[in-house]
Structure 1
Amino acid sequence: MADVTGTTTDTGTRYDFGGDEFVYVEISPEMSLPAHFASLAITRRLREEALPGVEEICPSNASYMVRVDPDRIDPRDLVRELQRIEAEVGSAASEDPDFVVDTRIVDVPIMFADPWTHEVLMRFRDRHQDPSGTDLDYGARINGYDSAESFIAALAGAPYLVTMMGFVPGLPWCFQLVPRERQVEVPKYVRPRTETPERAFGFGGAFAVIYPVKGAGGYQLFGSAPAPIFDGAQEQPDFADEDSVVFFRHGDLIRFRRIDQAEYDDVRGQVEARRWRYRTRPVRFSPSRWLADPDGTNAALVGELDR
């Protein structure tokens, strides 16, 4: 049995064991883009090295988890390998100009202040911090915006990075690529709703999400996506071609683009006809370039979608 006592290195990274099969690594107790870039660099190097006994690698917002076969590698030996990789690539991920991520940027239409999420959120005002307004009104006020419109402009004003997949199958956790002082943050509902519409665009903490299916939820509701992000029957072309029931991948970049009712209805018509496709472009994302020039890098990334 592996030692269950956590180990914290001089860099602040914490290593913990989950029985004999899992190693959990926390880069930072709080989310930040440099912490995520370090996690991304380490997990990508670990995948490239293909160490015997490493069965699954699950990157997260500011941490990651590795599943091992203890008959092939002792979890304590894996920790030593992970510390080696961290020393080689982790701390330099945000500064190394040679560290780039081959990924894609995706255009995702969103109808903000849509009637469907509005109807739901108004039925659950007794579970909200501010029952007197809407979720957008509340988000705008606590983030210092003078109106819901200016708040929506900020939400749609810069792309997002998918830093984790999970909670329910296909749900992307999206962290906006803006400097820390411009990050939007909102709390979850005081008590969760018992209903959240399928494809609702929500926000909790510093993360935007799209709910892939109808269910309960506690994130603030800001809008609705007309296109699916989960397709269990793989009827839509994007899902059939990729042979996956979920659309997004860890490391994707997303431009949430504001649309009106007419475009929402048009996209829904394409979905119903089974001919909708997301607009995507392959891009190379450089964390060091982004940290040096966030707005310029964002403009270049979004420009790839519009060229």
Structure 2
Amino acid sequence: MNVISDPPSSAETSWRILPQGDRCLIISFGDQIDASVGKTCLAAARKLRDAQLPGVTDVVPSFVAVAVHYRPDGLGNGPTYAGLAERIEALLADGIPADASGGREVDIPVCYGGEHGPDLADVAQAAGLTPEDVIQLHSQPRSMVFMLGFAPGHAYLGVHDEKLNIPRRPSPRTAVPIGAVAVANRQTVIYPNRLPGGWNIIGATPLTMFDPAREPAALLQPGDSVRFVPISPEEFDRIKGGQL
């Protein structure tokens, strides 16, 4: 039986280790979405993967934390929360490398507004901007991929200018089109498939974000740096057609 002990104290450090069920623990690095915290999560996740801790099946970074999944064997020989937390505590106390994520620089073409971005005008109005201003704010700086979640290949990017601190839609859509580029709370998500969602759709990309036959299946990976490149509807159709 796996015994969950009290989480280790890390008074001198900037993380907390907490149990998450009987097969996962969470290393929390903060409670606010921030690029520096996100980079720390990525660096810590890399260090834990490189350590190849016995019994660990996956290491998953998120905005402010890293999930470490492990597999107890039920016979007392596999990792326990207490033992694994102690090993992770020692690894992180030895130092988390400065982030050199090795993430790629990726250009994502986006057709903004019109049928591809039905919420662009509403976002502009809420932000007190023109639609052109929103496109410029969204596309000019690079955005970091913090994590994948919600669905396979579903990338969360940010953090955008404070002017794009727009809440989600009051009523979510039951079906958001594949490739939709949507914003909320200074973040962007790109829908890899037709999914429900309440984010504000400002455009769409013709690129295939998730393909199980591709390696890796997800086009974007945590740590990648993305530049959104505005394109015309004609360019959207040309790129989309060229992928078929």
TM bucket by the smaller chain?
0.7 to 0.9
- Aligned match of 2:78: 72
- Aligned match of 2:223: 251
226, 233, 236: which is aligned to 1:261?
233
Q: 1:49 to 1:12 in 2, by over 3 A?
A: closer
* Aligned: 1:150 with 2:130: no
Q: Distance in 1 between matches of 2:142 and 2:184?
A: 17
Q: Distance in 2 between matches of 1:14 and 1:191?
A: 35
Does the aligned pair in 1 maintain the 2:178–2:192 contact within 8 Å?
Answer: yes
How many angstroms does 1:141 deviate by? 4.1
Superposed, which structure 2 residues align to 1:15-164 within 5 Å?
A: 15-70=17-72, 71-90=77-96, 96=98, 99-118=99-118, 135-143=119-127, 145-164=128-147
Does the aligned pair in 1 maintain the 2:145–2:225 contact within 8 Å?
Answer: yes
* Aligned: 1:168 with 2:151: yes
Percent identical pairs in the alignment equals 25
Does the aligned pair in 1 maintain the 2:111–2:204 contact within 8 Å?
Answer: yes
The SS at the match of 2:164 is coil
TM-score by length of 2: 0.87
How many angstroms does 1:7 deviate by? 5.4
Does the aligned pair in 1 maintain the 2:5–2:82 contact within 8 Å?
Answer: no
The SS at the match of 1:265 is helix
Q: Distance in 2 between matches of 1:102 and 1:164?
A: 15
TM-score by length of 1: 0.71
Cα distance per residue 1:211-249 (max 9 Å; x no partner): 1111211011100111211224x3xxxx2xx2x433222
Q: Distance in 1 between matches of 2:180 and 2:46?
A: 31
- Aligned match of 1:127: none
The SS at the match of 1:89 is coil
Does the aligned pair in 1 maintain the 2:4–2:80 contact within 8 Å?
Answer: no
Gaps of 5+ in 1: 119-134, 273-307
Q: Distance in 1 between matches of 2:229 and 2:31?
A: 31
Does the aligned pair in 2 maintain the 1:112–1:258 contact within 8 Å?
Answer: yes
Root-mean-square deviation over aligned CA pairs: 2.2
* Aligned: 1:184 with 2:190: no
Cα distance per residue 1:142-164 (max 9 Å; x no partner): 44x53111111010011111111
Gaps of 5+ in 2: none
Answer 1 or 2: which has greater helix percent: 1
- Aligned match of 1:299: none
Q: Distance in 1 between matches of 2:144 and 2:211?
A: 22
Q: 1:248 to 1:146 in 2, by over 3 A?
A: closer
How many angstroms does 1:208 deviate by? 0.7
* Aligned: 1:271 with 2:243: yes
230, 234, 239: which is aligned to 2:210?
230
How many angstroms does 1:8 deviate by? 5.8
Q: Distance in 2 between matches of 1:253 and 1:217?
A: 24
Q: Distance in 2 between matches of 1:215 and 1:45?
A: 33
Q: Distance in 1 between matches of 2:6 and 2:135?
A: 45
65-74 vs 197-206, which moves further: 65-74
